[in-house]
Structure 1
Amino acid sequence: MEKKRCLFCDQIVPIGREDGYDLYTGCYCSPDGSYGLHRDSYDPYSVLSYQTKHLMFPVISAYIRELTDCGETVRLTIDDLEGIRNSPRVPVTIEDKGIRLLQFFHRHSEGPDEAVVLQQLPKSYNLTYSPNLQELIYIIEKLKEERLLERMGSSFKLTAQGWKTAEESLGGKRLKPCFVLLPEDGETRLQWTEKVLPVIEQCGYEPRTSERTAREKEADYSLRMIADSKLLIADLGAQGPEVFLAGGYALGRNIPVIWTSRRIGDETTASPSEKIRPFVWETAEELASILKQRLTSEVF
């Protein structure tokens, strides 16, 4: 298997290929998943100035890790550099960075006082968008002093107050898992990631997308993730017949399904059944508005 150095965490890992992207699997940017960097963007990133790399590569690594840890698909090009630099998702203050660490442990535990083992702590400062390990350790110690976090070696526990703080930062309640079948087109997937998935999260759901291991079939992965979800959002521009298999599987498990379909000109993706009535959208902003209205008006 071909290997390549991840520019953002400097680890050499196996890569796959998909639609012009190199998929980096298991690096420090995405220890339990993968992310894609367009092959034409590798060299432009690598020749950036030392100052830009020093400032931005830890941020990009953190951005990748947070999104993939939340189940989102990440596909980057050199054009994303400025967007990430100015993204409201990137925390700036120590307090906000500490909240991101609490949210990470919240995602990986079922309640307060449940231990979460953090592997490779020296390489995990991207969990807090920190430029180095020293800042991560400072944040951990600060959270301990505030009695929000307990640590014993590589094992961490949210205290009751830490759990409450994490929940409040997420809108006062734990996000419900929601599996999202995205369109196959790379540009459209990026629009979903930037414009639509954050709105789904604001409505109380944790959007998860198709990120599987190299040995796992797409359909098998999707069905496994759907079984653990409270809602399925499926766009008819997704993976051919598999999108209908996923929808039928979800309905068979009494998991609600929201169908969407993009209109391009006068054409929309055809529905094979009268029972599938998708919300038709033209722009990502329009779709985000439609989903926000639907998700906030009904309880799934």
Structure 2
Amino acid sequence: MAKSRQLEPRLSAWIRERFEAGADIPEVNSNTLEEVAKILPDYKVAEKQLILLRVFERRTAFPGQAIDIHPNFDFPLAWAAGEEEFLYLLRSLIDRGLVRRTDGPSDLTDSFVFKVEITANGWDFLDQHSRPSVISDQAFVAMSFSPELKSAWENAIRPALTKAKFRPYRVDAEPHIDRIDTKIVTEIKNSKFLVADVTQQRPGVYFEAGYALGLGIPVFWCVRANDLQNVHFDTRQYNHIVWTDENDLAEQLYLFVSAVIGTGTAI
């Protein structure tokens, strides 16, 4: 029961965020709830403040515009547990000089609706913490480029993501003239989620997955069954798709992505 109460705000926030972005909202039922729960982020206070500021950014048509905020309705947008936490996050943004209220005092005790605008400092802060829109059909794939795992990419991961109507992207799969590190960072930012197959324990895969997590981008962890015992201790708490062969990996990955992210729009 306690676990259900802890999950409910995050689930509401996840659904509301996807609705606001115009993204597909997959069906959540008793069969998929457990898998969805495993990948829902549990944001820290500072992360929730940034998420709320980005909400204001999305709703602002031009700098200096005041927008309406309804805490009792909008609290899921900040991944807050309720109106009280939402107001705390909003006060924090005001105290930090990133947002100001334009229709009254900053104590936020006199109304159910507030008009706020992003300050010049707020716009600078957003520039420093920029990330792309959550609407993307690209799925970044981080994995070992070893010939031994070529079949896992070609016969499992790529077709599974394509079946879910996402565009699988692996940094070695298309020609480019960019620095490889710059290309990786850019394409992770441009992706809706990341698939990290840690089989063979490549440090680069862990780095790319960690970078995605830092941006709030969902990560699907995969590992071949005979390498499960070698998974790094820092990531063992995450649910892994443990696969035995390409067919197993393809089936599990497709089901996980469909249950948690939904269906993309790539043809």
| Smaller-chain TM-score bracket | 0.3 to 0.5
Query: Per chain length, whose mean CA-contact separation is higher, i.e. which structure has more relative contact order (CA < 8 Å, sep 6+)?
Result: 2
- Kindly indicate which of the two structures has a greater share of residues assigned to helix: 2
Q: TM-score, normalised by structure 2?
A: 0.46
- Kindly indicate which of the two structures has a greater share of residues assigned to strand: 1
Q: TM-score, normalised by structure 1?
A: 0.41
